[in-house]
């Protein structure tokens, strides 16, 4: 009898240690996940001090399935949402995210754009009293102990400023943490990439989210020269109608020995950095 008590006691201790490890392990690392949302952008960052950042939400509510696989069930808070620009393949999925998660803060460029999902996104933010912030280069964001989000474009607020091509109003950030950096320039095309370079900020990054889904309209030689990434991640959908990524872009990456990771070929692309 005594022995079986010892045995059960031992099992319980193992179980508690096991559960502790399961829940604790993710917090020893920083996770950057390029979510598999089809033809669109969505990037999730999770930090050891339990901060969650979501940059864009892809074209549909499928982002919720991806979040469900990564964010622990007990965590319904997203500390920061960054919307690069209000095109459907970046904002539409965010509508369900702001409705279902407790969102602390949202960062946008504020350029006017006629998209019903974007209007709904703003309506829910307003209704729920979520902190809405307009991106400017001097408004960088520090999140907890590990993550610094350096806004590299726009320099000044774009509120009320119309863009014929909203791709070129893409909020661009360099995410810095523990000696690593990630460059995210939304769908910025070559003209905007030039402006980002003109801003004079350090753009170097280990990981570069290929601009505009790997389109030939982005990832100019001069931009790649500044970012100098080791890895480029292309967020494009299987057999998308734009034929992203374009072969010219893939060739540039190949010539520069940049490793290419692709959502359309691999599904979700995760990077885990140990502290
Ligand atoms: Zn896009």
Report pLDDT digits (tens) over 186-213: 999 999 999 999 999 999 999 999 999 9
The length of the chain in residues reads 275
Instruction: State residue 74's pLDDT score.
Output: 85
Q: How confident is the model at residue 178 (pLDDT cuts 50, 70, 90)?
A: confident
pTM of the model: 0.90
Contacts of 112-115 with CB under 8 Å at 24 or more apart are 112/160, 112/161, 112/162, 113/85, 113/86, 113/87, 113/166, 115/86, 115/87, 115/88, 115/91
List residues bridging with 261 in a β-sheet: 233
pLDDT at 132 exceeding the cut of 50: yes
β-pair type (180-184, 207-209): parallel
Ligand 1: centre distance to CA 236 (Å): 9
- Name beta bridge partners: 176: 148, 181
User: Given this model, what pLDDT does residue 11 score?
Assistant: 67
Tell me the average pLDDT of the chain.
92
pLDDT band at 16 (very low <50, low <70, confident <90, very high): low
Q: Is 80 exceeded by the pLDDT of residue 184?
A: yes
What value does the mean pLDDT take over residues 248-271?
98
Q: 48-80 pLDDT, tens per residue? A: 899 999 999 999 999 999 999 998 888 899 999
| Residues in CB range of 31: below 8 A, 6 or more apart | 44, 45, 46, 70, 270, 271, 272, 273
Residue 5 scores a pLDDT above 80: no
pLDDT at 274 over 90: no
Distance 186 CA to ligand 1 centre (A): 7
How far is residue 118's CA from residue 139's CA, in Å, rounded to a whole number?
A: 23
Closest CA to 38 of 241, 185, 205, 275: 241
Q: Give the distance (Å) from ligand 1 centre to CA of residue 3.
A: 63
Cis peptide before 154 (omega within 30 of 0): yes
Using alpha carbons, select from 86, 99, 98 the residue that is nearest to residue 59. 86
Q: How far is the CA of 176 from the centre of ligand 1 (A)?
A: 23
114 CA distance to ligand 1 middle (Å): 15
Q: Which residues have C-beta under 5 Å from ligand 1, the single-atom ion? A: 89, 187
Distance 90 CA to ligand 1 centre (A): 6
Distance 86 CA to ligand 1 centre (A): 9
Q: Is residue 230 predicted with pLDDT exceeding 60?
A: yes
CA of 88 to the centre of ligand 1 (A): 8
């Amino acid at each position: 009898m005594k022995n079986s008590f010892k045995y059960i006691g031992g099992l319980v201790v193992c179980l508690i240690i096991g559960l502790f490890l399961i829940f604790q392990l993710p917090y020893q690392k920083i996770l950057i996940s390029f979510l598999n949302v089809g033809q669109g952008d969505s990037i999730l960052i999770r930090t050891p001090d339990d901060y969650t950042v979501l940059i864009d939400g892809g074209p549909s509510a499928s982002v919720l399935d991806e979040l469900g696989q990564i964010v622990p069930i007990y965590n319904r808070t997203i500390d920061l949402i960054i919307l690069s620009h209000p095109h459907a393949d970046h904002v539409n999925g965010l509508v369900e995210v702001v409705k279902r998660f407790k969102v602390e803060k949202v960062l946008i460029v504020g350029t006017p754009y006629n998209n019903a999902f974007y209007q709904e996104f703003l309506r829910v933010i307003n209704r729920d009293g979520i902190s809405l912030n307009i991106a400017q280069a001097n408004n960088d964001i520090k999140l907890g102990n590990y993550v610094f989000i350096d806004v590299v474009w726009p320099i000044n607020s774009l509120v009320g400023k119309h863009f014929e091509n909203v791709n070129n109003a893409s909020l661009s950030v360099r995410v810095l943490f523990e000696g690593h950096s990630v460059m995210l320039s939304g769908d910025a095309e070559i003209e905007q990439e030039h402006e980002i370079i003109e801003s004079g900020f350090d753009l170097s990054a280990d990981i570069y989210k290929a601009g505009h889904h790997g389109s030939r309209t982005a990832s100019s030689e001069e931009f790649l020269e500044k970012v100098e990434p080791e890895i480029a991640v292309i967020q494009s959908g299987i057999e998308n109608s734009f034929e992203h990524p374009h072969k010219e872009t893939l060739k540039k990456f190949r010539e520069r020995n940049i490793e290419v990771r692709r959502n359309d070929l691999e599904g979700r692309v995760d990077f885990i950095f140990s502290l």
